[in-house]
Amino acid sequence: MLTNKDLTIGTLLHVFRLRILLPWAMVLAETSLMALIPLFIGFAIDGLLAGTSRELWTLAAIMLALVVVAVIRRVYDTRVYAAIRVELGKEQAARSADLPVSALNARLGMGRELVDFLEQTLPEAMAAAVQLTIALIVLYAFAPVLALAGGVAALVMLAIYALFHRRFFHLNGALNQQTEKQVHVLEQRKARPVRAHLMRLRHHEVRLSDTEAVLYGAIFIVLLGLILFNLWFAATELKITFGTIFSIISYSWEFVESALALPFTLQSWSRLSEIMRRLNTKNPIAEAPPR
């Protein structure tokens, strides 16, 4: 299936598109149902305060449908992506027979990250996009200013990540380069080389972690500012019910949670860009900047 093709996310999507389509459709259905829950909780609150339980039963039906879709998707997901991992691993082993065992072992692990991206990261990004869209629509329905604040926060967040992209690429390249040497180092069965190798891995991982901490700290400040602004605006500038205030805050928080998936996806893509370049190179390579 993958013979004579570059081992990339695009190739996997093209070759296995029919297998992947159903799980992604269920992701969209699950996300849409999940995104409706805060709105219908608000309706249920107002309905119960008014003495009617119709909205509560509607909420219960949505929750039941969500559980059914979520369970079926997870059962099916595991089988689809496990089969893709097998096909990718077979192709990697076939075309990398000349590589040192250490590098091949590391690249087999890296190849699995491509499938992990399709199974976990990309569906989460799709779900986040749906949630962001629904959150913005609902917030706009309550007051355009609330949606505008969310849009501005998202743009600021993307600008912050853009400042970190090249650094993530270089740091992941250095970590992958060191990982490819691991089996070779262990084969020496000497304490000093093993310790030096582990210390280098630690050094690269700490640098990555520190960069992530700074990035997410800056993004959290922006998104928490959004929550505070929307709470203040809803409570002081709008004449609405308690249920509506709950819905506004819930969708503002849902916007924050969904928005956090975007930099995580971009960060994963930075790492995968380096991995895909590495997997399609016959020999171990040194770190290089992204194109």
To the question of pTM greater than 0.85 for the whole model, the response is no
CB-CB contact of 123 with 27 (8 Å): yes
CATH architecture group of domain 9-279: Up-down Bundle (1.20)
Distance CA 219, CA 262 (A): 11
Q: Which two tokens stand for residue 288?
A: 């290089």
Domain regions of the chain by residue span: 9-279
Q: pLDDT by residue (tens digit) across 153-198?
A: 888 888 888 888 888 888 888 888 888 787 778 778 788 888 888 8
CB-CB contact of 167 with 89 (8 Å): no
From the number of C-beta atoms within 10 Å of its C-beta (0-12, 13-18, 19+), residue 39 rates as buried
Distance CA 103, CA 181 (A): 6
Q: Looking at residue 290, what is its pLDDT?
A: 42
Q: Which two tokens stand for residue 226?
A: 């959004």
Q: pLDDT by residue (tens digit) across 228-275?
A: 888 888 888 777 777 777 778 878 887 877 777 777 787 788 788 888
**C-alpha 279: how far from chain center:** 22
Q: Which two tokens stand for residue 132?
A: 């962001």
Residues 6 or more apart whose CB falls under 8 angstroms from that of 89 comprise: 108, 111, 112
H or E segment and range at residue 204: helix 191-237
Question: At what angle are helices 144-162 and 191-237 packed, to 10 degrees?
Answer: 160
pLDDT at residue 64 is higher than 90: yes
